[in-house]
Amino acid sequence: MKSPPTSRSAGNLSDDTPRQSGLTLWRQIAETLRQEIGGTGYPPGARLPTEAELSARFAVNRHTVRRALEELSRGGLIRVEQGRGTFVAEDVLDYTVGPRTRFTEWIHRHNKEPSGRVLQRREIAADAMIAAALGIRPGARVMLLERLGLADGTPVSLTRHYFPATRLRGILHALAENPRITDALKAVGVEDYVRQVTKVTARAPTAIEVNLLRMARNRPVLVTESINVDRSGMVVEFSIGCYPTPRVQIVFEPGEGPA
Amino acid sequence: MKSPPTSRSAGNLSDDTPRQSGLTLWRQIAETLRQEIGGTGYPPGARLPTEAELSARFAVNRHTVRRALEELSRGGLIRVEQGRGTFVAEDVLDYTVGPRTRFTEWIHRHNKEPSGRVLQRREIAADAMIAAALGIRPGARVMLLERLGLADGTPVSLTRHYFPATRLRGILHALAENPRITDALKAVGVEDYVRQVTKVTARAPTAIEVNLLRMARNRPVLVTESINVDRSGMVVEFSIGCYPTPRVQIVFEPGEGPA
DNA sequence: GATTGATGGTTGTCCAGACATCCGGATGTC
DNA sequence: GACATCCGGATGTCTGGACAACCATCAATC
């Protein structure tokens, strides 16, 4: 059907994109699609042609199209779903990290409805990392709360919160009754707390995270580690949060600051 | 040479890893390598076997090995270099973002020798984004400094700094004479300055960034945007920084803080 | 009416091969 | 000695094909 191995440095894509000699095919295809998506050719949420259709259009093998789609997917422009198709990604959600970051207010600020799903709530023994963050000895009792955060029903965060059980008597009960962490802490006597330190990294998501956050496997998650202290400086919480890019991006804004 | 299509749900990898039915081959291979790298089988910087050797060892096609390596590379565990081989990644460098973040001190804190390479230093007209950040009108004169930061000779940051030229008379000359930004600002009368806001995102790197930062194409860069103000609150600098993951990770630490 | 099963369409994985591109050392040349 | 060239080895790109896994829908069955 086609000429053999195809000396790839000449000729044209059957469609509009010329085969520039210096650039690989999949990059050219990715760039073409990127422009079409950016140029209102496809609105957010719209479905792209299938891989077979695209490979026919650009007159390349399906794998080459897949390479281009993977690139766009990693960049966050599209979302690929097995058995369904590929879709243009939705808008991003700024996550403003400050001394007083609260989930509910974050989502409300974006005119969306916050909700949450508790995945775990139980007592565990502190490992070395948790102990160091909370300033307690390894093995001490720690309350773990794992929560999936949603904005208008779509997942935007996956957070694990660790509370020092001995310091905060009754925190497990309080967490069971109060969906909001701020309320639960208030119930055990912590009127106010501020974020002391936040650490940000990016990495590939785990399978579980992909599932819960409903994100593509090949997009990075932003990972934050933060320590919250009360007004007296006592550590009341250590939390690790995962956020799907590019649905969420992190904005940091230092405020008046305590200590 | 091999049995046909190979019903992949049974049998063993020729080496040590069993073909668990539920897991894809490339994931199993990635996991095996991940453990071997983690378990001191390969120290940081060590070279892994070639793709051909690995595909022979696991008795799979070279493409399957490549898929596994790509995964590890995206996760930051290894670094793949065309024509040379694949290597175990080095340690990470914490980038502590605080009100008083200075490049030189950052690197010194890690017992490394800071150095830099100026890529651009010229006057430009402010576009909308820069103007908004600096609080000046679009089109106003702005001094641009683009710099590659190195620690012990390896690139760790790529930053673009924008200074309001009319406010900071003589800044171009000062920058030409002083390698350190802190010194240059001091030369034009800015004794001290603090970071007002920092924004963090992750995205795929551009080709230029891959080159300058000597990083893998398929690892994300952390992107920061920050605004620095002097003691009176006047904006003296707006900067955009790119940092290669996982060589660099960002730690935020709010300090005493001003305003 | 609800569950089950079949079917077609779509993305995901794996194989096999060919050639391009890049790196680095060896070799040859001036 | 300095420089250019060649060449083997390594990763990068592209093709072509086969099948697996998953999704949505519709038909058949209970």
Structure tokens at A82: 């097995």
Greater confidence, B50 or A166? Answer: B50
| pLDDT for position B93 | 64
Structure tokens at A50: 């299938």
Rounded distance between C-alpha atoms, residue A237 and residue A244, angstroms: 23
Nearest to A138 by CA among A123, A128, A153: A128
Nearest to A29 by CA among A43, A16, A39: A16
User: Where are the strands (E) in A66-205, listed by range?
Assistant: 78-81, 85-88, 93-97, 114-125, 141-151, 154-164, 193-203
- Closest residue (CA to C1') to nucleotide D11 in the complex: B82
C-beta of residue B246 within 8 angstroms of C-beta of residue A203: yes
Q: Do B75 and A218 touch (CB under 8 A)?
A: no
Segment B223-241 mean pLDDT: 84
Q: How far is CA A86 from the centre of its chain?
A: 19
Sheet holding A193-203, edge to edge: A114-125, A141-151, A154-164, A235-244, A221-230, A193-203, B248-252, B93-97
Rounded distance between C-alpha atoms, residue A167 and residue A190, angstroms: 11
- Model pLDDT for residues B116-163, shown as the tens digit of each residue: 888 888 889 988 888 888 888 888 899 998 888 888 777 888 899 999
Nearest to A184 by CA among A166, A161, A152: A161
- State the DSSP code for A18: B
- Is pLDDT at B7 greater than 60 in this prediction? no
CB crowding A158-193: b at 16 or more within 10 Å, else e? bbbbbbbbebbeebbebbeeeeebbebbebbebeeb
Quick check: helix, strand or coil at residue A159?
Answer: strand
- Model pLDDT for residues B207-221, shown as the tens digit of each residue: 777 778 877 665 667
Contacts A–B by Cβ distance under 8 A: 90
| pLDDT for position A258 | 26
Written as one letter, the residue type at B106 is: W
Which stretches of chain A score pLDDT less than 50?
A: 1-18, 21, 254-259
Quick check: helix, strand or coil at residue A177?
Answer: helix
- Closest residue (CA to C1') to nucleotide D14 in the complex: A64
Residue B49's nearest nucleotide, by CA–C1', is D10
Q: What percent of chain B has pLDDT over 90?
A: 12
Integer angstrom CA distances of residue B160 from A74, B103, B145: 25, 13, 6
Helix (H) or strand (E) holding A249: strand A248-252
Mean pLDDT of chain A: 77
Sign of CA dihedral B37, B42, B48, B54: negative
Protein-strand D interface by C-beta, 7 A:
A 1-2, 5-6, 8, 24-27, 59-61, 63-64, 67, 81-84; B 5, 7-9, 48, 50-52, 63, 66, 80-86
Rounded distance between C-alpha atoms, residue A198 and residue A98, angstroms: 9
CA distance B171 to chain A (A): 27
CA distance B173 to chain A (A): 32
Q: How far is CA B148 from the centre of its chain?
A: 11
| pLDDT for position B216 | 67
Contacts of A197 in chain B (CB under 8 A): 251-254
Residues of chain B numbered 89-148 and touching chain A (CB < 8 Å): 94, 97-99
Strand D: which nucleotides have any atom within 7 A of a protein Cβ? 9-24
Q: Is B134 left (phi over 0), alpha (psi -120 to 50) or beta?
A: alpha
The strand pairing partners of B194, in sequence order, are B229
Can you list the alpha helix ranges (DSSP code H) found in A59-213? 62-75, 103-109, 128-134, 171-177, 181-187, 207-213
Q: Do B202 and A218 touch (CB under 8 A)?
A: no
CA distance B205 to chain A (A): 9
- Is pLDDT at B241 greater than 70 in this prediction? yes
Quick check: helix, strand or coil at residue B59?
Answer: coil
| pLDDT for position B251 | 64
Separation between the CA of B83 and the C1’ of C24 (whole angstroms)? 9
Rounded distance between C-alpha atoms, residue A42 and residue A78, angstroms: 11
**Disruptive mutation site among A28, A195, A203, A215 for chain B (greatest number of B CBs within 10 Å):** A203
- Model pLDDT for residues A181-216, shown as the tens digit of each residue: 888 888 888 888 877 766 777 666 777 777 788 776
Can you list the alpha helix ranges (DSSP code H) found in A110-218? 128-134, 171-177, 181-187, 207-213
Q: Is the preceding peptide bond at A246 cis, omega within 30 degrees of 0?
A: yes
C-beta of residue B242 within 8 angstroms of C-beta of residue B151: no
| pLDDT for position B151 | 81
**Disruptive mutation site among A64, A74, A196, A250 for chain B (greatest number of B CBs within 10 Å):** A250
Structure tokens at B167: 């406010």
- Determine what percent of chain B falls in helix, strand and coil, rounding each to the nearest 5: 25, 35, 40
Structure tokens at A232: 């007296």
- Structural domains of chain B in order of their starting residue, each with its CATH number: 25-88 (1.10.10.10), 93-252 (3.40.1410.10)
- Model pLDDT for residues B67-118, shown as the tens digit of each residue: 999 888 876 778 888 888 888 877 666 666 666 667 777 777 666 778 888 8
